[in-house]
Amino acid sequence: PKAVITPSIPNPVLYKQTVTLSASGGQRYFWLQTGSTNQDIDYKINNTQPKLFTVRVTDENECWDTVSYLVKGILPDTCYYGFPNVFSPNQDNLNDEYIPNMDECTDVIVFAIYDRWGEKVFETNQLKGWNGYFKGRPAPMGVYLYYAEFNTPWGIRKHKGTFTLMR
């Protein structure tokens, strides 16, 4: 057989995208890096280090061939994240949640909000916003502190700051 790997996205593949590598040329497939026996495998780009994939393709006569493909990742030009300085949870559909602004290349590790006495009023490990409620009641107007850790293409970033809740 003649083993072939065809990528769903040509190199370079943008950070956080998933490329599907499709093998062809035989009846059975074995991916050396993953142990998968599927014809296709998916690989999500988590960094810019090139990753080599090799597949062994076997035909009906038990003859085999191997082929390799080097996946190359690339970082986006920018990776933005920022925090509003005010929010107004008054159900007017404008700024009703306090949520970080961020690009797809950033993942939330932790995002927490504290009142002026240091009591945690909100925490998540997802891109979710705070609705301005604490223990089922509207939180009072005032200044609040946020603490956030994000995983970016350049490593973990930590931020803290304040914002104002207005009603």
Give the model confidence (pLDDT) of 75-99 as tens digits.
877 777 789 999 999 889 888 999 9
The two tokens of residue 162 are 């304040």
Question: How many angstroms separate the CA atoms of 157 and 10, rounded?
Answer: 30
- pLDDT given for residue 85 in this prediction: 94
Q: How sure is the predictor about 153, in pLDDT bands with cuts at 50, 70 and 90?
A: confident
- In single-letter form, the type of residue at position 150 comes to F
Give me the chain's average pLDDT, please.
Answer: 93
Residue appearing with tokens 């690339």: 74
- pLDDT given for residue 72 in this prediction: 94
Residue 104 has pLDDT above 80, yes or no: no
Phi-psi region at 37: left, alpha or beta (left = phi > 0; alpha = psi -120 to 50): alpha
Q: Which of 86-95, 122-131, 148-157 has the lowest mean pLDDT?
A: 148-157
**pTM: predicted TM-score of the whole model, two decimal places:** 0.62
CA distance readout (Å), 88 to 34, 84, 122, 130, 140: 49, 11, 16, 11, 11
Q: How sure is the predictor about 152, in pLDDT bands with cuts at 50, 70 and 90?
A: confident
Tell me what the mean pLDDT of segment 71-78 comes to: 83
DSSP tag of 126: S
Tell me what the mean pLDDT of segment 98-123 comes to: 92
- pLDDT given for residue 120 in this prediction: 98
The two tokens of residue 103 are 């690009």
Give the model confidence (pLDDT) of 20-60 as tens digits.
999 999 999 999 999 999 999 999 998 788 999 999 999 99
In the chain, DSSP finds a helix count (H) and a strand count (E) of 0, 17
Residue 1 burial (10 A CB sphere; 0-12, 13-18, 19+):
middle
The two tokens of residue 86 are 């005010």
